[in-house]
Amino acid sequence: MSLSTDTLSARNLFQSEHGFWIFLSCLPKFGARRQQAILEQIPDFQQLLTHNAATLKALGLAAETIDALQAWRRQDSAHPVIASADGIYRDCLRTGTAILTIADADYPEPLRHIHDGPLVLYVRGDRSLLGREQIGIVGSRNATRAGLEHARSFAAALGQKGLLVTSGLALGVDGAAHAGALDAGFPTVAVIGNGVDKPYPYRHRTLSERIAGEGVIVSEYPPGTSAKAGHFPRRNRIISGLSRGILVVEAGLKSGSLITARLALEQGREVFAIPGSVHNPLARGCHHLIRQGAKLVETVDDICEELGGWWTSQNEGDSSSVIMKRPATEGLDSREIAVLEALGYDPQSTDDLCSVTGLPADQLMQSLLLLELQGLVDSAPGGFQRIG
């Protein structure tokens, strides 16, 4: 008796080295926080398949999640979660999309060290480039001519310094950065918020083809996924997660680039910003970042000097051991250091902090805001607490 195409496809999914990870990425109620909670109790996700329903429930998994895991154990190709994963797998085969999972040796090491790194990446182009040291360049979609030129020239100069330029393929600064690197003869990484088989924005379809041919396009969204507004903040955390630092070229005060900068700080990356005219509204975001502690950048050397001592390689030549580390107090003024040292890991009220530090309330709040932007402090019921 012959097997149907769907059955054959499902068998390939179960037998594929990537099938289980695609399935995990489709699991309901299995987001980053739940994944982290699970890994605190078991060494790896593969062990989920060895436990019965009662144990899975004790681990904190929802009924829908447990049901799908048990269906995988039965190799039930009709289960909706498995059918969805199977569809993704077939789309990858059909479009020639490479699959890169967190279990693969060449999964980008920096992404392993962020709390919400994607389980699966979908790749078009040279995946080996993802292991190179990278610098993110982001900025306004409506950049000025000067901003576009800055993006192009910095991308080219960073390439000459051996840093791979990473951006989001958006109009404006992103596209100029990608083009600047390519025109100077260097590859570039585009992290997108849609399937790698669907060029977006359409005006960048030619640039997208260049990047796929000379660099790499990567997404956590499977082939066929259309761009949606909610995808881009999640895309931004991958741009910053892959990068040693983020350079903001031009940005308004409400720009999505400031989200990327905030994510970079949360991930322990450095943030750089190019200053501009006080009359340019697209310089205000950069000026805001500089006031909050971002490195003011005039030349590529400013970036290279700042990055030089912050990244160490535990094993020379092993890209999987590249880790960023900086002291919590580095770059802080004495006032912020005093506030940080006064804080504990339990919430403290602003009244108590004023009493301990001797600072007026307005100065204390300014310091707390800066520390919060640096990812060292967080607000909590009852006040503020140290997190870094």
Kindly state the helix (H) or strand (E) to which residue 239 belongs, with its residue range.
helix 231-242
Kindly state the helix (H) or strand (E) to which residue 271 belongs, with its residue range.
strand 270-273
> What is the pLDDT, as a whole number, of residue 323?
31
Do the beta carbons of residue 154 and residue 249 sit within 8 Å?
yes
> What is the pLDDT, as a whole number, of residue 329?
59
Dmax over CA atoms of the chain, in Å, equals 83
Pairing of strands 188-191, 383-386: unpaired
Do the beta carbons of residue 332 and residue 367 sit within 8 Å?
no
Tell me which amino acid residue 344 is.
G
Do the beta carbons of residue 228 and residue 93 sit within 8 Å?
no
Q: Which of 37, 5, 9, 33 is nearest to 22 (CA)?
A: 9
Q: Helix (H, G, I), strand (E, B), or coil: what is residue 8? A: helix
d(CA 12, CA 233) in angstroms, rounded, equals 33
Tell me which amino acid residue 42 is.
I
Residue with tokens 């951006």: 167
> What is the pLDDT, as a whole number, of residue 234?
92
Residue with tokens 């012959």: 2
> What is the pLDDT, as a whole number, of residue 331?
65
d(CA 313, CA 301) in angstroms, rounded, equals 21
Tokens of 179: 């083009």
> What is the pLDDT, as a whole number, of residue 5?
45
Sign of CA dihedral 227, 232, 234, 239: positive
Q: What is this structure's pTM?
A: 0.77
Tokens of 255: 């720009």
> What is the pLDDT, as a whole number, of residue 304?
92
Sign of CA dihedral 308, 311, 315, 318: negative
Q: Which parts of the chain register pLDDT below 50? A: 1-5, 8, 309-327
How far lies 171's CA from each of 94, 97, 109, 136, 334, in Å?
29, 24, 28, 15, 41
- For the residues of 166-198, what is the DSSP string, one character each? EE---TTHHHHHHHHHHHTT--EEEE-SS-TTS
